Structure 1
Amino acid sequence: MSSSLPVRTVAVIGGGPAGLIAAETLARAGVAVIVHEKMPTFGRKLLMAGRGGLNLTHSEDLPAFKARYAAAEPRLEPLIDAFPPDALRAWSRDLGQETFVGSSGRVFPKAMKASPLLRAWLRRLESLGVELRTRSEWRGWADDGALRFIEPDGERIERPDAVILALGGASWAKLGSDGGWTDRLAAYGVALAPFRPANSGFLVAWTDLFRERFAGQPIKSAAFSTGGRTVRGDAVIAGYGLEGGAIYALSADLRDAIQAGGAVTLTIDLRPDLTRQALTGRLHKGGKGLSAANLLRKAARLSPLETNLLREGHGVALPAEPGALAEAIKAVSLTLTACAPIDRAISTAGGVAWDGVAEDLSLKAVPDVFVAGEMLDWEAPTGGYLLQACFATGIAAARGVLARFRI
């Protein structure tokens, strides 16, 4: 006669990258997995991220890569070491989605879309026996510890051997990440950190004329500085203020400074490749007989947006002396008064505090429950770092479950 141990069961709650990779890891080890997603389809935020080309990860050296996670680096470092960028690229390749490194070092699928990868991934999960349930909203625990879900045909009760929560942060609520899970965990004594916008835009009090004329236009190849940090890149004028890659890279510094002091100064060098002396020479040489607008256009080669941004930062009356004007071009000062609403942020900091999470990503207050993805209190700039950490934490949570099962 032969006997076998009963198959272990796990409920994964949340159908984004962290939840789906956790489900795949568990299913490959022979665990029975059900993934619950409250939205009508899986991976909605992944699809949104892929609209401009899915930035999976980044190719920079691993020590520099891990440093992007700032305060969370000590907790995320071993998880990323266990599933580094090269492993994520190999995983994508195994799904038929070859990747390439762009000029900025960012890594993209050659298809430049998320949908082919997601379709192949869901087919793989189904082939592994993973049950994929949409419109299945987790409502917490029943008195006896069972999981409660609301589905189109009524309430569903499950009693899995373990649970992985991958419910996302608190941005882009219409895609499923609304942070509504916090009260359910707080009721069980789970330590939480307040949600804060990350990779966020910021409010600037533009004049009406500037807002109406330039909203939606980019500031190209400038240097943005605050608090001793400088980022080279692009930003976008928004009706409410500023957004875009360079702003997102500084967003943690800007956000924290606003929280501490109520406002923060952002300085923009519109001609970072020219020294003040060289720019002064150009303005002096080209200044004869030109109006201020023509001088800025011909000698400094400022676009209409840049010229008007200069006026926003320094007032309508710009200095006439070439040296002072050059200094103004290289130091446009804008006052940022608040973060854009959190639902507009690309990601969020805050969530489940690391102090309440064991090394295997189980909750200390609820030991059979593991957490992954943006639920955890970490943040990183755009550039592939967000997805990489979601994948790495999803795999780590699944491995924590397998270790608990001794599989």
Structure 2
Amino acid sequence: MAAEAWVIGAGPAGLMAAGELARAGYAVHIAEAMPSPARKLLMAGKSGLNITKDEPSAALLAQYGGAADWLAPILAGFGPQEVKAWAEALGQPVYTGSSGRVFPLVHKASPLLRAWLAELEGLGVQMHRRWRWTGFAGADLCFETPEGAVQVTPAPVVLALGGASWSRLGSDGSWAAILEREGVELAPFAPSNAGLLIGWSAFMEKHFGAALKGLRLSAGDIALRGEAVISARGLEGGGLYPLTPALRAGAVLRLDLFPDLTEAALAARLAKTAGGSAANRLRKAGLDAAKQALVMEVARPLPAEPAALAALLKHLPVPHQGPRPLDEAISTAGGVTRAAVDDGLQLRARPGVFVAGEMLDWEAPTGGYLLTACLATGRHAGRAAAGGKAPL
């Protein structure tokens, strides 16, 4: 009779770990607290499922900040090329866009997830829905289930419970208290890939929902080309997300509203508008209504001298109150520290228990990086948990 292994959490990391354990000969059970698996993956796929970023390993690793060193061997085993091959093996052809982002041809998550779940079912993996993990009782795992309290004694276990954002989809971070009681070292949760809180005046209301395009955004030592959207509570959008670590630490957000012009060239353009009203000068310089409003909101009174105004528009400081709250972020930083696990992602404080995905303390911007690392750490933990058992 095959030994049992349990995976707690049916997101991408958990499903990947389950497949590795099943192929190694274990009778695998997945416990999922929600009524259906991979809800966050399905939500992400509504706007086009970006499964990875096809770029050289150095560029890829740079997106993982301080976690790059320890994630490097894990991503080397399952990086962008492997993610693409995995999706296509599930019957989901992919294509690479001009930015290097990789998408399924159908652009949706549901066909990929259905194929993945069918593969796992074919490997004998059993899914237990509405099973919420409540902790340990000695060697046992404890669950609240529709049938009441249940305890099981598996070996091994892979925890893949997600971070602490989007709790309505299942990632509520409640596991942190359980692991803390077991002596597992944790880094505090913090929002990642989050919008920015700004207390606008009533002057900005008519611009809520307007896009700010063609920007160069910077905070701390991070700078990039991108876009943002003015919202009732501040700014949001993909251009901000890579800046979240710096903004979270209190760095000033600066916007270059003319990234294709030098300061000197912009000053020369502004000199031709000298003497007009501030709003008229901004319009004639080439700013649309949303950008004009932003400048007037955060930088009045504007300098009259062209060189000074050009410097301001090339380095516009935007005061803010930090990222949106944790549960409103796309992902989270913090969680189980690297020091708390061995090279196989096994908890040092709890041998036989492995951790994968967003439970671990790493972060990365959107654009395929999050999903790639979840898949890679799930595969790595699953293989390590299998302990070298021969495939079926």
Residue number in structure 1 paired with 2:333: 349
Quick check: 239-248 or 318-327, which moved more? 318-327
The match for 2:318 among 318, 330, 334 is: 334
Aligned to 2:114, what secondary structure does the other structure show?
A: helix
| TM-score normalised to structure 2 length | 0.96
Letter of the 1:295 partner, please give it: R
Within-5 A mapping of 1:159-178: 159-178=153-172
Inter-partner Cα distance in structure 1 for 2:222 and 2:9: 36
Identity of aligned pairs, percent?
Answer: 50
Q: 1:146 to 1:228 in 2, by over 3 A?
A: closer
Find the partner of 1:85 among 69, 80, 87: 80
CA distance in 2 between counterparts of 1:283 and 1:126 reads 65
User: How many residue pairs are counted as aligned between the two chains?
Assistant: 391
Aligned equivalents of 2:221, 2:154: Cα separation in 1:
51
Does the CA contact (< 8 Å) of 2:25 and 2:389 recur in 1? no
1:148-200 CA deviation, whole Å, 9 max, x = no partner? 11111212221112110000000110000010001111111111111111112
| Residue equivalent to 1:359 | 343
Indicate which of 236, 239, 243 corresponds to 2:236.
243
Counterpart residue number, 2:217: 224
The residue type paired with residue 149 of structure 2 is: E
Q: State whether structure 2 residue 366 is matched by structure 1 residue 382.
A: yes
Quick check: 2:303–2:309 contact (8 Å CA) kept in 1? yes
- Give the SS at the match of 2:241: helix
What is the TM-score normalised by the length of structure 1?
Answer: 0.92
The aligned amino acid for 1:177 is S
Measure how far apart 1:90 and its partner are: 0.4
Q: Which residue of 2 aligns with 1:131?
A: 126
1:226–1:254: 8 Å Cα contact kept in structure 2?
A: yes
Matched, 1:13 2:8: yes
* Map of 1:312 onto structure 2: 297
* 1:346-400 CA distance string (max 9 Å, x none): 1111111111101111101110100000000111111111101100000001111
Is 1:215 the equivalent of 2:202? no
Counterpart AA for 1:34: H
Range with bigger deviation, 360-369 or 67-76: 67-76
Instruction: Work out whether 1:233 is the aligned partner of 2:226.
Output: yes
Letter in 1 for 2:279: A
Amino acid in the other structure paired with 1:115? S
- Answering whether residue 307 of structure 2 is matched by residue 323 of structure 1, we say yes
**1:89-145 CA-partner distances (Å, limit 9, x unpaired):** 000001111111112111111111111111111111111111011111111122x42
- CA-CA distance at 1:403 after TM superposition: 1.9
8 Å contact 1:215–1:239 — kept in the other structure?
yes
> Paired residue for 1:301, among 281, 286, 298?
286
Q: Which moved more, 1:148-157 or 1:342-351?
A: 148-157
Structure 1 residues 275-309: Cα deviation after superposition (integer angstroms, max 9, x where no partner) = 12222222333x27854433322x32211100011
Unaligned runs of 5+ in 1: 1-5, 259-263
Match of 1:29 in 2: 24
Superimposed CA distance per residue, residues 306-361 of structure 1 (whole angstroms, 9 cap, x where no aligned partner): 0011112211x323333333222222111122221001111111111111101111
Q: Map 1:54-65; keep pairs closer than 5 Å.
A: 54-65=49-60
Asked if structure 1 preserves the Cα contact closer than 8 Å seen for 2:216 and 2:257, the reply is yes
Equivalent residue letter for 1:294: N
Q: Which residue of 2 aligns with 1:261?
A: none
The equivalent of 2:117 in structure 1 is: 122
Does structure 1 retain, via aligned residues, the 8 Å contact 2:20–2:386?
no
CA distance in 1, matches of 2:390, 2:98: 44
Hey, what's the Cα distance between the residues in 1 that align with 2:375 and 2:4?
Answer: 21
For residue 252 of structure 2, give the secondary structure of its aligned residue in structure 1: strand
Superposed structure 1 runs of 4+ greater than 6 Å apart: none
